[in-house]
């Protein structure tokens, strides 16, 4: 299979990680992949906070009820809607940042890394935790936190393709 499709199908949420640290060059590659994503009117209304500090990661684990994962790194994908100067483009910040997040997940898979997306926005309590831990200003909103590390669990590739959800020409 071609390597791009292979990475898309084999990307799975990894919730158990080894102690091996993620090389900074690999984290940098993930951010390059993130910022290659398409955005409305190419406004790129995003900010990324890379967290490798064990104390901050411990805060995430303890304070995010669905985010208790032992990865050695996390990338917080944030939206800064005001960077979209066009008012219509500004409405699309969630899609823009989601595209960047998905690029991170697929690029990580291709580098032999595991990831899991932890949803933050629009749950106010989760947003508060992340703002507090990484010191975000009011105009920057954390969309999600992506744990990154070397997998300590194996999961199979799959597509989840469901023919009944596909409609040609007209919804049926
Ligand atoms: C918006 C969003 C929020 C998610 N939040 C969490 C989360 O808080 N904790 C978690 O362990 N997984 C979370 N996930 C991962 C999903 O549970 C996972 O993608 C889904 O079960 C499918 O499994 P797969 O990623 O292995 O294909 C989230 C995924 C998305 C897209």
Ligand 1 pocket, Cβ-based, cut-off 6 angstroms: 12-13, 15, 66-67, 116-119
Residue 56 has pLDDT above 90, yes or no: yes
For residue range 152-161, list pLDDT tens digits in order. 999 999 999 9
For atom 6 of ligand 1, the residue with the nearest CA is 118
Question: In terms of C-beta density within 10 A (0-12 exposed, 13-18 middle, 19 or more buried), how is residue 36 classed?
Answer: exposed
CA separation for the pair 160, 44 (Å, rounded): 30
Residue-level pLDDT at 1:
87
For residue range 58-105, list pLDDT tens digits in order. 999 999 999 999 999 999 999 999 999 999 999 999 999 999 999 999
- Averaged over 139-161, what is the pLDDT? 98
47-66 burial string, b = 16+ CB within 10 Å, else e? Answer: bbbbbeeeeebebbeebbee
5 CB neighbour count, 10 Å cutoff: 11
Measure 119 CA to ligand 1 centroid, in angstroms.
8
The pTM score is 0.98
């Amino acid at each position: 299979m071609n390597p791009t499709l292979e990475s898309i199908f084999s990307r799975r949420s990894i919730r158990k990680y080894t102690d091996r640290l993620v090389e900074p060059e690999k984290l940098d590659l993930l951010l390059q992949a993130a910022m290659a994503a398409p955005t409305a009117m190419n406004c790129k209304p995003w900010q990324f906070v890379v967290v490798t500090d064990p104390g901050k990661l411990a805060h995430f684990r303890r304070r995010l009820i669905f985010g208790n994962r032992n990865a050695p790194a996390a990338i917080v994908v944030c939206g800064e809607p005001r960077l979209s100067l066009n008012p219509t483009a500004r409405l699309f910040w969630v899609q823009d940042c989601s595209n960047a997040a998905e690029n991170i997940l697929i690029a990580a898979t291709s580098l032999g890394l595991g990831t899991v997306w932890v949803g933050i926005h629009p749950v106010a309590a989760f947003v508060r935790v992340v703002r507090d831990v990484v010191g975000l200003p009011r105009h920057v909103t954390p969309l999600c936190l992506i744990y990154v590390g070397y997998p300590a669990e194996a999961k199979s590739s799959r597509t989840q393709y469901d023919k009944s959800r596909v409609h040609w020409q007209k919804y049926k």
